Amino acid sequence: MKRGVKIKTVQIYNARQNKVAEVEKIEKSDADWKKLLTKKQYEITTRKRTESPGTCPFNTIHEPGIFQCVRCNTHLFRSSTKFESGTGWPSFYEPVSDLNIVEETDRSSGMIRIEVLCARCGSHLGHVFDDGPPPTGRRYCMNGLALKFVSEGQL
């Protein structure tokens, strides 16, 4: 740590270790993210674009594991909370922990929605709606390119 520079931290839940840890918040410039991500990942996670429905291979994944943030590996959703929403995007009824996501009002595209961001790096993940299945009634509609899947055996 540079003298006089305060490192920003955030509490994040680690699903593999089943514990909360204080970790450094990840802040990078758009130029840095552009170097680290594919063009489509950059457009979605940094410029808040949306991938075309039905194009994500995660729509067919049902094996046990965790969906993580593609930018910082934060654990976001368990595959056990994934469901078929009929939208063409991976959908989940709850995150691994409310600590790991941030929900903000999104007034873009002429509508009011709730945007979902990664709490550690600020990556745009998708949106959440109140039309999901029990037990939460919520539908976290995520861009597959904002996620990466790690099977239970690889955690």
Contact 128, 103 (CB under 8 A): yes
User: How far are the Cα atoms of 28, 90, 143, 147, 149 from residue 57, in angstroms, in the given order?
Assistant: 28, 9, 11, 11, 10
Tell me the catalytic residues.
141
Residue 57, C-beta contacts closer than 8 angstroms, at least 6 positions apart = 144
